Structure 1
Amino acid sequence: MNKKLLEIYRKNPKPYEQGEKMFWNDEHISKQMLKAHLDETLESASRTMKTIESSAKWIYSLVENKKNVDVLDLGCGPGLYAEQLSAFGCKVVGIDYSKRSIEYAKQNALSKQMQIDYRYENYLESVFDKSFDLAMMIYCDFGVLNPKERDGLLKNVYETLKPDGIFVLDVFSQYNYKNFKEQEMITYEDSGFWRSHPYVCIKKDRKYNEVYLEQYTIVDDKDIKVYNLWNTAFNKKKLKDEFQKAGFSDISFYSDCTGGKDDEQSSTICIVARKK
């Protein structure tokens, strides 16, 4: 057995330990990710367009002063939410670290004559050059970050919000993982999400208290690469503590980003935090 594969099997990664870096910009993988974003029948990368439209409408309704609304869309992907908010008259800055998604968003906005400022950046390192009425981070991206990254992001967003500005994001709840089981599965693909050519995929699901790992080890005829996809399961207390630490005090909870009533049996938690 390959020594690299032996080492992978010998030990589990530490919580939030990186696997292959910047894999979302891989030529093949980025195509598959964009395809998933744009496929309205899938919810693996984005939600359905009906849900996106409902979410954008509800999020916009949270802004009290509807005149000249400045919006920061973190992890904007191909611009599905940014376009909705732009259509309401908002001035949107969209940030994403997927070059392919940002290029698609720019071209799509141009074809629709929408004035949206899309930026290919790592939002953990962004230096914002303006203040915003609304910041948003949709589809549970927050839970992918480790605690230090979350703290830094929240403080950065708090500082860039205008007085009474709001930050809206969603995360996976602990209820979402109620049936989670640690397991391992090996599959063969002639071509698929991870490669355009034949490969074997070894998928491991692991639990580290409230942190969950989907690990994909991809073996082809040339190499072995490991992709660690982390997520954190939150409860309202944990979320509130992290937001208050960053300075937010006016905090509300919903079941999702369409404004659904707070529900302990919802797979997601949506938090709306206002800067006072």
Structure 2
Amino acid sequence: MGIDFHRKKNRFTYTTRIADNSWIETIKDLVPIKNISEALDVGCGGGIYSKALSDMGVNFVTGVDFSESILEAARQNCKEYKNISFKYGSALDTGLDSNRFNLLLERAVIHHIEDLHNCFKEAFRLLGSNGFYIVQDRTLEDCLLEGHDNHVRGYFFELFPRLIEKETNRRHNSKKVIETLKEVGFKDIEEVKLWETRRVYESKEQLLKDLNERTGRSILHELDDKELNLLINHLDKSLSSDKSIIEKDRWTIWKAVK
């Protein structure tokens, strides 16, 4: 089935969160944010991380996405930010000027792209000398961890093993990412792991409602409505109900320098 990023119904699915401090502090450790005047957020979705970069002190942020519907939602989500603009484009062809940006972020993008070489080549072209490239995605090791109260996503694969094949086919291993970054010309490559807090839910019911609406979770679009109900019932029985739920996601982040 899969999510249709161009469908009007899905345009707000990536606007409902804010970037957590766990992500912000990790990026600050990797990049001298105070020295970043212009950043590019490729695959920006609803602008969650474009906002975060602005709040961290970046002077100007450009968001690029290949869905006009999602860009419409991003503009609305970031309407109070006069230093953020959005443009239609893709990770392989942004249509932007060369050597322009100090920082380029691609979060949760490369699993949609088979041609890593040309994706990274476009990033290299866009960055100025000594510009920073941050690639954030999951490897299989990040995806297939056991489910528990904090790692809700793990239950998806335990209940529906066929989703493992979906993940296997679309995730790049770290060795390939690093080798391709080097091929393109990037230097000072560093890999870090991050448990990023996705969202804090006041109750289990709030989480289950979010899941039922498939909010910001492309993997759940691989399930039909009946399967989604099975998952929600399974989580209802599996998760603690007497406390708030801090949902975390496991990521790999690669930093590279032009």
| TM-score interval, normalised by the smaller of the two chains | 0.5 to 0.7
Partner of residue 6, structure 2: 25
Alignment check: 8 A CA contact 2:15 2:74 kept: no
Partner of 1:114: 82
Gaps of 5+ in 2: 147-156, 197-248
CA drift at 1:257: 8.1
Partner in structure 1 of residue 251 of structure 2: 268
Cα deviation, residue 98, structure 1: 2.0
Corresponding residue to 1:247 among 178, 185, 189: 185
* Displacement of 1:167: 0.5
How far did 1:89 drift?
A: 3.7
Once residues 6 and 72 of structure 2 are traced to their aligned partners in structure 1, the CA distance between those partners, rounded to angstroms, is 12
Partner secondary structure for residue 190 of structure 2 = strand
Question: Is residue 170 from structure 1 mapped to residue 136 from structure 2 by the alignment?
Answer: yes
Richer in helix (by share): 2
Instruction: Tell me which amino acid in the other structure corresponds to 2:176.
Output: K
Could you list the runs of 4 or more consecutive aligned residues of structure 1 that deviate by over 4 angstroms after TM superposition? Answer: 178-184
Change (3 A) 1:103 1:95: same
Cα deviation per residue 1:179-216 (whole Å; 9 max; x = unaligned)?
Answer: 768968xxxxxxxxxxxxxxxxxxx54638x833xxxx
Please say if 1:211 is aligned against 2:188. Answer: no
SS at match of 2:76: helix
Structure 1 residue 158 corresponds to structure 2 residue 124: yes
Q: Which has the higher contact order (CA 8 A, sep 6+)?
A: 2
Q: Which residue of 2 aligns with 1:222?
A: none
Write 1 or 2 for the structure with the bigger share of strand.
1
Question: Is 1:93 aligned to residue 62 of structure 2?
Answer: yes
Report Cα offsets for 1:132-172 as digits up to 9, x if no partner: 1100011x3212211xx211010111122111111111222
- Structure 1 or 2, whichever has the larger Rg, is 1
Q: Does 1:232 align with 2:198?
A: no
CA RMSD of aligned residues (A): 3.0
Contact 2:59–2:83, Cα closer than 8 Å, also in 1: no
Taking structure 1 as the reference length, the TM-score comes to 0.60
Aligned residue identity for 1:207: E
Q: Specify whether residues 115 and 249 from structure 1 end up closer, same or farther in structure 2 by C-alpha distance, changes over 3 A only.
A: closer
- SS in structure 1 opposite 2:40? strand
Report the equivalent of 2:206: none
| Aligned partner letter, 2:14 | H
Does the CA-based 8 Å contact 1:170-1:256 persist in structure 2? no
* CA positional deviation for 1:267: 4.1
Structure 2 residue matching 1:238: 3-state secondary structure: helix
Classify 1:114/1:60 alpha carbon distance in 2 versus 1 (closer, same or farther; 3 Å): farther
* Contact in 2 for aligned 1:172/1:267 (Cα 8 Å): yes
Residues 62 and 24 of structure 1: is their aligned pair in 2 closer, same or farther, counting only changes over 3 Å? same
Does the aligned pair in 1 maintain the 2:105–2:135 contact within 8 Å?
yes
Partner Cα separation in structure 1 for residue 177 and residue 195 of structure 2: 15
> Which of 63, 68, 72 is the aligned partner of 1:103?
72
Report the identity percentage: 21
Task: Calculate the TM-score normalised by the size of structure 2.
Answer: 0.64
